[in-house]
Structure 1
Amino acid sequence: MRTTVGIIGAGPAGLLLARLLHRAGIESVVLESRDRAYVERRQRAGILEQGTVDVLREAGAAARMDREGLPHHGIELRFDRRRHRVDFPALTGGRSVMAYAQTEVCKDLIALQLAEGGPLLFEAEALEVTGADTTSPRVRFRREGRESTLVCDYVVGCDGFWGVSRAAVPEGLSRTFERTYPFAWLGVLADVAPSHDELVYARHERGFALLSMRSPTVTRAYLQVPDGTDPRDWAAPRIWDELDRRLETDDPAWTLRHGPLTATSVTPMRSYVHEPMRHGRLFLAGDAAHIVPPTGAKGLNLAVGDVTTFARALVHHRDTGDPSRLDAYSATCLRRVWQAERFSYAMTTLLHRAPDATPFDDRIQLARLDRITTARSAETDLAEAYTGFPLTPTERKSR
């Protein structure tokens, strides 16, 4: 097989890239190791930045999102039994976010790709990327028990942290930066209407809690738990009791709605960046190149930024013959990645209580939260970061 762009991975990044390339008249083939049902039920992120929403609309992939997604114009910070709302549009010139699950984004993009786009091959396991430093990189893959080779002009690795793409970058050229956190998130889905119409981020002496949603009838919630926690140790009554305690407030008008749990899982917390994000004609995107703790809701949105940057650079090269934007791909993406890492780290250390936290550490957290809730400049910095960092240097200058 031969194509212009070989895309490894049919998560939201790989699928969106295929869609953007199709709209630009550029051929691609998507290889996904899992079956379609698995991809469409994989639970991940649920908050889309303003820039992600804009790109999905630009790609003609936003019709259902605009019908069913839940626009959010702020978040609530809760600490010391206090409630404080951060008003995104008022602080960012009108920017906001959208609650719309990654599973739904994938369903929409898969349907469009199968109806209009190039080949999307499920259960096609990428085994190796070779020739990244040549003009014809190749992806060796296995499907239906047979090995085949996809010959490309470019390869984009959207295959996650454990995929094969990153291994094609020579070890001598790679640099990695990482931090692991001594806690995790216990996440639950519950068949009950959300208790608040925006996300609630709570700092409590017992640990962090997040109240979110998947739809008007489904609540998504998280609790900080020790790293290595077994979700089977947390029965529903214990989870609701802990959420009640960590979300407590002096506002008598607010209560937490309880309902039957339909899913429980534990997510480890880590930060990771691989540099560079490009080697020859191999480009890394999403979790193949970087991971952020979920506190800042940046993972999916960073991946969208990566593939949008690549697609725009490739179109520019095709139309003008100028390869400079492709050459700058890694540097362009990494500026945004490191800002997202900074924000995610700041939010994580602001709201989570470390196992060895001292009274001094507690007071510093409360002082940071008080600063955000009383100083417009600090609140604006949070709102601008949460609603999304610019996708390109040009966009950065315009803001």
Structure 2
Amino acid sequence: MKILLIHQNFPGQFKHLAPALAQQGHTVVAMTMQKTEARQWQGVRLVPYAASRGTTPNVHPWVADFETKVIRGEACLRAARQLKAEGFAPDVILAHPGWGESLFLKEVWPQARLGIYCEFFYHAQGADVGFDPEFASPDPVAEAARLRLKNLNNLLHFDVADAGISPTHWQASTFPAPFRDRIAVIHDGIDTEALQPNPAVSLALHTASGQAITLTRADPVITFVNRNLEPYRGFHVFMRALPELLKRCPTARVLIVGGNDVSYGARPDPQRYGGLRSWRDIFTAEVRPQIPDADWARVHFLGNLPYQHFIPLLQLSTVHVYLTYPFVLSWSLLEAMSVGCAIVGSDTAPLHEAIRHGETGRLAPFFDTEALVREVAALLNDPAERARLGANARAFAKAHYDLKTRCLPRQLAWAQALAG
């Protein structure tokens, strides 16, 4: 079988599926907008391509997002026509449609079966938009209109896609009928063999004063992980909980992982925040006056960690905190479950599939900093409960999200079924 994969940042969500398809003997080609000199990756032929233009200056802001998707879709179309001219005709196309690349591929290969990765469908109410009143749109009606146009890319894909795949039931539920009935819920998969507890783990780091310290499982450590430190993932809530959390947990160190950019939602307006341009700086400036220097010395911002250092961080964690708007569920939560972390999460819909309060972790209302502090402090002082929750979390991750025994076999079966 000939399979074409489309992902702007290949391999992305296909990092396990793509090489597994190649290992089965299929001809696998991946088209990507990443700049790379490589032409092969784990048995997959790479075809990089680029857009020939950017977004039109001063285009209407409601259509700017869709224009970028059309531009990328056109670039992918040109590259696809070149592939066709070389004699390549895929039986199956698997695409992450989020950036628009796969919009026009059925014009090139109308007989190919198209499966799309269904990550999220936008809503003006009931999901991420409007969830946090602190960052509410000044014009909700206009925001609803903008979101309708933002979903154009999704809606146009529904017309040409034969099936979809979504990592969680909640994310699949955001998509409208009737296409929702064509979505299979199969997670990307967590390597629970690589991500397992390690009682002997240690982590060396430097304090703000330059002192070198080594942390082990004997040290009380609170971890908080985002790709970028931002409100969508509850960074502001966590920071506002810090003054009381540090007071109640006088020996705990807090390790915060994440960059200073924005992955989701809006960038901060410097005029609103006294010239500050990152959410980290904004919420640090807000809470720092409430925290004594001795306590602040126990807070460590680690930036973005390489994956080989990220795993020991989770293995070291005494209590791991994960917060999110009603939005896409992070891999990091399931990775933390796989290594047996005792988790305190936000009581928001995406977590309910994985964190069952009192069974696989603890849940606290997203905006309730007192409840968050209470749950974290209670677990820090209860090793038996931490062990129980951590063991349950790992067992749940292995049973529902294990890459090799559950997710990858189901992904391969989905791809085969798509081909008929």
Is TM-score (shorter-chain normalized) higher than 0.5? Answer: no
Structure with bigger strand share is 1
Q: Which has the larger radius of gyration?
A: 2
Normalised TM-score (structure 2): 0.36
